[in-house]
Amino acid sequence: MSALRGQVQEQGFGRRNLGDEPLVYHCNFYNYWLQKTVLLVDDLGMEEIIQDAAAASAFACLKGLSGQDSEQAEALFAYLGFGQIDLSEVTAAGGHATTSVSHYGQCLSSAAGVPFAKPQSRFDAGFAAGAGAWAHGRLASGFGASIQACMSVGAEQGKVGLKGRVKPDFMQTYGMGPASTDARPPNTWAAVDQAAVDRAVQALHLVGNEEGLIPRFGVMLTQHFAHFYNRLSFEFLRRMSHTGMRMAGEHLLIDAGYRCAFHTFGGIFNSAEWEALMGSKVASREAGAHSMASIVSALGWGRWRLVEISDRRAVLRLYDDYESLGYQAMYGAASRPVAFLAAGGLGGLMNLLYLGDVLDKPVLDNDYFERVFEHPDSFAVHQTKSIAMGDAYSEIVADR
């Protein structure tokens, strides 16, 4: 496999980009839950959005890198932690791509806990379409993709069929978009040196291994396209709004964030990587919360700063959070806050620390999840400020 021509750049307050496309780290649990969430309502047409968002993201990222060849696209797929894809059977007229290893095809099952009835590799199909279109000089929308085989439902390898198509109203990515604000994140906890945490996380070398996966922090990570997550979340919300179910949509997206927090943060708190990075600094729940905020701030999600924290209430400020910036770039000013993943994340973090005693390293199984997250005294979250609404930072309050 050829090496990727280009590297991730740091920009603004904890933003990361490759080929001028913002990247964020998320794990197999969030990838599973977000996909499951947006597909909950059958007639929203979200399957097509998932594939098109993947195609648009892959196409834009590859365009931002140099060259125009399938090998570069294969290297990108592996580098980002999506697995191994073979695009050698794709021509300008179409063809097929195969995946011998696939994050979406193989790593979502441990999140689901039960066998899948339907293929989960819609992202792979979209990536193949966007990458194939880019490599063969077609427009980003130039290929329609169909999943012909998927490892999530028992196939030995994934297979995606590609056919030429014309789709004039195809979605655009927004690139890095404008930086949000001149307000600088405050230093809220003296024991954390954010620059040092950034360097330490970078030293973990969180990129795809030789089979294109990132098994770190006890989970399967991906360096994913922020545009992909935002397009799924906000298009789901827009379509739910049209059916009069916007609030239900918001709650579902926050719930996906809760689950992300449980597994990603829980996994991080329990991991050897966490102990190596934070060592003896985490002597209290408050220290744990600040430390996790500093780790999150190194994952491309923007800067997280806890300006208030106690066993009853926390106030989180977000600088350059990828959800608010993405919403603003795609749809303009928002009428309501849109940092759903972050809101769920904060609630999850507080519940893990103050109800679940996560620093004592409990077994993070379903019983624990139910006990902590369905506890009558669990934290509720409220979004009180939003960059997408014109505020200098986004703000979320968790209280109980």
Binding positions for other proteins, rule: CB under 8 A: 27-29, 100-101, 106-107, 110-111, 200, 203-205, 209-211, 213, 215, 218-220, 263, 267, 270, 272-273, 275-279, 363-365
Q: CA 285 to CA 365: how far, in whole Å? A: 21
Q: CA 392 to CA 386: how far, in whole Å? A: 8
β-bridge partners, 27: 221
Locate tokens 């990570």: which residue? 221
Nearer Cβ to other proteins (182/365): 365
CB of 259 to other proteins, least distance (A): 13
Q: How buried is 246 (Cβ within 10 angstroms: 0-12 exposed, 13-18 middle, 19+ buried)?
A: middle
Locate tokens 């999150």: which residue? 296
Angle in degrees, 0-180, between the axes of helices 226-242 and 28-38, rounded to the nearest 10: 30
Nearer Cβ to other proteins (166/190): 190
Q: How buried is 286 (Cβ within 10 angstroms: 0-12 exposed, 13-18 middle, 19+ buried)?
A: middle
Nearer Cβ to other proteins (109/241): 109
Nearer Cβ to other proteins (202/284): 202
CB of 14 to other proteins, least distance (A): 19
Nearer Cβ to other proteins (28/181): 28
CB of 100 to other proteins, least distance (A): 7
Taking a C-beta distance cutoff of 8 angstroms, is the pair 67, 74 a contact? no
Angle value at C-alpha 126, between 123 and 131, nearest 5 degrees:
120
CB of 27 to other proteins, least distance (A): 7
CB of 133 to other proteins, least distance (A): 28
Ranges assigned E (strand) in 90-174: 90-91, 94-102, 143-149, 158-164
Q: CA 196 to CA 30: how far, in whole Å? A: 27
CB atoms within 10 A of CB 307: 13
Ranges assigned E (strand) in the chain: 9-11, 15-18, 21-27, 83-86, 90-91, 94-102, 143-149, 158-164, 214-216, 219-225, 303-309, 313-319, 380-385, 394-399
- How far CA 345 is from CA of 27, 240, 381, in Å, comes to 13, 22, 10
Nearer Cβ to other proteins (29/59): 29
Nearer Cβ to other proteins (39/213): 213
Nearer Cβ to other proteins (275/311): 275
CB of 294 to other proteins, least distance (A): 12
> Which positions ≥6 away from 40 have C-beta within 8 Å?
252
Nearer Cβ to other proteins (56/111): 111
CB of 291 to other proteins, least distance (A): 12
